[in-house]
Amino acid sequence: MKYRACRKCADSVGVVNVVGNILMILIKGYMGVVGQSRGLIADAVHSCADLLATLVMIIGLRLSDRQEDDDYPYGYGKIEYIVSIIIYLFLMAIASFIIYEGILSIVQGRKVVICWSAAWGAIIAILINELMFRQSVCAGTQINSPSMVAKAWESRSDVYASIAVLIGIIGAKMGFHFMDPLAAAVVGVIILKICIEYIKESSLNLLDKAPDEEILDNAKKALKTVETVSGIKNIFARELGQYMEFETELYVPAEISVSQGETIKKDVKQALAGSIDRKIIVKVRLFAFSDS
């Protein structure tokens, strides 16, 4: 860390992103409507999709904090996926409409009368986005958080969408009327892509897809450090909201007592917690190990 303020800066990244996104949505939406630019309005919807992802994540956090009850003994971890599937299906419909309308107005050769205020909207959006990106990358590097940097690069693609919109507006202003709806359609495709990605991810998580090999390998390595464990029968993991749930089936010597078994379970939990950078739930089942 270069400066003492870096920690504070990194902490603020999340809030800045949410506030920045809301600001951009409002600016793009307003300027788009006032300036009569379809591209900019589509871009505002695009920003909405990003913001929704963040909001759904926050809701997921809140909901999975809720303790499991008698009716839902496994907790509420999966509700996040259902919510995001519903939201993104809805956004998918919107994106299709945007693409359809955009192409329709190109085909019909509608004349768009765009005001320069739309271009300013796009420029402001690009600037905000770029500043947010720089902050994330800088803070991520300083506090040594690759995930923050990776996320920043991910959100960089939003800038490209806004640039496309700006080009569309300038083109339309120059008399190439098809360019603004074209930019809108392009943004629509980007939204569609985001939606499909999120829906895919959420439904796979609903189906308890196994996490990346890397996570399981790390877990196995961690388990091997526990000396009392004789072998690993099986290890599964799944996403459960913000938690990663591990189910491990371990071989232990047949003659150990129940209290020794409990100690082993505790050790295993500790070892697994060290192998991954997030909250975990660990379920351990012990099997008697025989040499045969």
Q: How far is the CB of 29 from other proteins (least distance, A)?
A: 5
Residue with smaller CB distance to other proteins, 91 or 237: 91
Q: How far is the CB of 22 from other proteins (least distance, A)?
A: 8
Residue with smaller CB distance to other proteins, 194 or 229: 194
Residue with smaller CB distance to other proteins, 12 or 270: 12
Q: How far is the CB of 111 from other proteins (least distance, A)?
A: 6
Interface positions with other proteins (CB under 8 A) = 11, 25, 29, 32-33, 36-38, 41-42, 44-45, 48, 51-52, 55-56, 58-59, 62-63, 65, 83, 87, 90-91, 94, 97-98, 101, 105, 110-113, 181, 184
Q: Which residues are within 8 A (CB) of 229 and not within 5 positions of it... i.e. 6 or more apart?
A: 223, 250, 251, 252, 264, 268
Do residues 283 and 249 lie in contact, with contact meaning Cβ atoms separated by under 8 Å? Answer: no
Q: From residue 1, how far is each of 5, 10, 19 by CA, in Å?
A: 9, 11, 25
Q: How far is the CB of 36 from other proteins (least distance, A)?
A: 5
Q: How far is the CB of 215 from other proteins (least distance, A)?
A: 27
Residue with smaller CB distance to other proteins, 36 or 162: 36
Q: How far is the CB of 160 from other proteins (least distance, A)?
A: 20
Residue with smaller CB distance to other proteins, 120 or 289: 120
